[in-house]
Amino acid sequence: MGDHATQRASPKVLVALDFSDPRHALALADRLDPGACGLKVGKELFVAAGPEPVRRMIERGFNVFLDLKFHDIPNTVAQACAAATRLGVWMFNVHAAGGRDMLMAARQAVHATAIERGGARPWLIGVTVLTSLGDESLREIGFAEGVTQGVNRLARLARDCGLDGVVCSAQETAMLRAAFGPEFRLVTPGIRPAGTTPDDQARVITPEAAVANGADYLVIGRPITQAPDPVAALAKINTALMSRCEPRA
């Protein structure tokens, strides 16, 4: 089975292609360099266009993070994870709140399918608490604990079930890095370069601060995709990150 041992120099920035029209997503992807960024494909684009744009991005050499946040009964999630593995994505996610049985089924499906197809195993990561949610929002939907406690609990569950890491706010990365060590992947949305608006994110942080806190990968959408020059916006972020650290896996 393939592994990630030979894939340790991946770009930190994952550009979120949150478009409903695949032509716009692919046009932007054509302007970007796979050596400078990975790409994130989420629900909007995937529901509108299906897997074909993802295949084209993979063929172009991009690391593709499939951000569909699977959350269902264990068998359904396992089948979805097998399909994502066969698609050839580099990383995808499930909701850690789906519970132990679901997470274990997801992990087993990824491993078995990777062996079956003889390719590299994608990273499987868990979603902890969405970055659009704060303490008050969690209380409103029935969670007694706050964001920090919820993130820590769900990240621990994901780690115990053999997942490769979690999606979390960069404000929680220092805590998670200390708790789970350097090999646990931390993927952080809610990244906004200094001087940009937070949009609909409740917990935001700059790229430099996110990396300083221990983030491995930074999901950045509108500050790049809606910039007058997306390539220049990405280059500016990468230049700032290069002054902070060397690329991690």
Tens of pLDDT, residue by residue over 74-104, are 999 999 999 999 999 999 999 999 999 999 9
Q: Between residues 165 and 6, which one has the greater pLDDT?
A: 165
**Each residue of 173-211: pLDDT tens digit?**
999 999 999 999 999 988 888 766 555 544 568 899 899
Residue 3 — very low, low, confident or very high, per pLDDT cuts 50/70/90?
A: low
**Domain count within the chain:** 1
Residue 99 lies in a domain: yes
Amino acid at 232: A
2/43 Cα distance (integer angstroms):
27
112/100 Cα distance (integer angstroms):
18
What Å distances lie between residue 192 and 85, 195, 203, 209, 214, CA to CA? 30, 8, 10, 10, 16
**CATH number of the domain residue 34 falls in:** 3.20.20.70
pLDDT at 190: 80
Residue 17 lies in a domain: yes
Do the strands 64-70 and 185-188 form a parallel or antiparallel pair, or are they unpaired?
unpaired
Burial 155-179 (b: 16+ CB within 10 A, else e): bbbbbebebbbbbbbbbbbebbbee
**Which residue segment(s) compose the domain that 147 sits in?**
13-242
Three-state DSSP state, 2: strand
| Assigned token pair, 63 | 């690391």
Angle, vertex CA 28, rays to CA 52 and CA 66, nearest 5: 45
- The residue-averaged pLDDT of 10-15 equals 95
Residues in the chain: 249
Closest CA relative to residue 150, chosen from 140, 136, 135: 135
**Each residue of 127-175: pLDDT tens digit?**
998 878 889 999 998 888 999 999 999 999 999 999 999 999 878 999 9
Residue 6 lies in a domain: no
pLDDT at 202: 47
Residue 1 lies in a domain: no
Burial 189-224 (b: 16+ CB within 10 A, else e): bbbbbeebeeeebbbbbbbbbbbebbbbbbbbbebb
pLDDT at 197: 58
pLDDT at 6: 38
Residue 175 lies in a domain: yes
14/166 Cα distance (integer angstroms):
15
**How buried is 68 (Cβ within 10 angstroms: 0-12 exposed, 13-18 middle, 19+ buried)?**
middle
Angle, vertex CA 88, rays to CA 83 and CA 94, nearest 5: 55
- The residue-averaged pLDDT of 109-131 equals 95
Residue 2 lies in a domain: no
pLDDT at 237: 95
Residue 3 lies in a domain: no
- The residue-averaged pLDDT of 212-232 equals 95
pLDDT beyond 50 at 7: no
Residue 248 lies in a domain: no
Residues marked as catalytic = 69
Task: Report pTM.
Answer: 0.90
Q: Do the beta carbons of residue 184 and residue 165 sit within 8 Å?
A: yes
